């Protein structure tokens, strides 16, 4: 979340932060969802800082509007941060040694076959830009995709896999970048659940399991802890 540099393999199941911490995820879909959430949160955080800085200028016009936008964004960001850190995800973690770092990256000109794909994090729908040092492509100024030298994964950037969008619940068969691009479109179109539109206090975890509650007649995405808590509210009631 707060790493200066994040590097991934082809399906995001292998992630390295700052050439120091390595994380391996058991589920590629959950790994991709977490990466998307992390980038989305960092973008919102940066936007909030920009709004605060603009509102602090004495000559700025519509200062009240900027402050209102910043307060609304801060409230939304606070909730999203809590949901992100509450995510229950299965992964392993280890500290990298100097010998590991020497064999960490694919290298210049390697694994750039997705260079013509659209960058899911680009507002202008620009193609992915190759990283000339690590290999792979840069998706943001801190995230480099498919640059890690991963000998365990047989997947390529052309491979597709089944997935479910955590924002619109659509089942699809897409590449890893395609899955991220789909989520980006959902967020831009406002299909993600707005906190102020939720009728009760039941949390919505994008990485949780889909659960239909017959009592509420609603479908939720809940972590195991929130699922048990939700069921207990009906038992106690």
Question: Domain residue spans in the chain?
Answer: 6-188, 203-236
173: helix, strand or coil: strand
Q: Are strands 91-95 and 21-25 parallel, antiparallel or unpaired?
A: antiparallel
Query: Positive or negative CA dihedral for 48, 50, 55, 56?
Result: positive
| pLDDT single digits (tens) 195-222 | 444 444 455 555 566 677 878 877 777 7
Is residue 7 very low, low, confident or very high in pLDDT (cuts 50, 70, 90)? very high
Q: Structure pTM?
A: 0.76
Query: Contact 101/17 with Cβ under 8 angstroms?
Result: no
Q: Which helix (H) or strand (E) holds 21?
A: strand 21-25
CA distances from 167 to 31, 85, 143, 191 (A): 15, 18, 22, 6
| pLDDT single digits (tens) 8-48 | 999 999 999 999 999 999 999 999 999 999 999 999 999 99
Give the Cβ contact number of residue 171 at 10 Å: 8
């Amino acid at each position: 979340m707060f790493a200066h540099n994040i590097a991934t393999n082809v399906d995001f199941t292998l992630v390295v932060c700052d050439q120091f911490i390595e994380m391996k995820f058991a589920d590629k879909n959950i790994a991709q969802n977490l990466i998307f959430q992390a980038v989305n949160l960092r973008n919102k955080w940066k936007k909030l800082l920009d709004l605060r800085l603009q509102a602090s200028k004495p000559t700025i016009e519509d200062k009240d509007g900027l402050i209102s936008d910043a307060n609304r964004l801060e409230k939304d960001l606070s909730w999203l941060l809590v949901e992100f850190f509450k995510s229950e995800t299965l992964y392993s973690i280890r500290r990298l040694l100097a010998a590991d770092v020497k064999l960490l990256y694919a290298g210049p000109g390697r694994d750039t076959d997705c260079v013509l794909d659209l960058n899911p994090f680009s507002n202008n729908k620009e193609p992915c830009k190759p990283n000339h040092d690590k290999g792979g492509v840069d998706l943001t100024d801190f995230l480099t995709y498919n640059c890690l030298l991963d000998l365990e994964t047989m997947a390529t950037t052309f491979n597709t896999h089944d997935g479910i969008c955590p924002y619109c619940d659509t089942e699809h068969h897409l590449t890893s970048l395609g899955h991220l691009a789909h989520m980006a479109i959902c967020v831009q179109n406002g299909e993600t659940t707005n906190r102020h539109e939720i009728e009760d206090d039941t949390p919505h975890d994008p990485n949780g399991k889909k659960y239909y509650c017959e009592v509420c007649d609603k479908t939720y995405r809940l972590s195991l802890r929130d699922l048990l808590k939700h069921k207990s509210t009906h038992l106690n009631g």
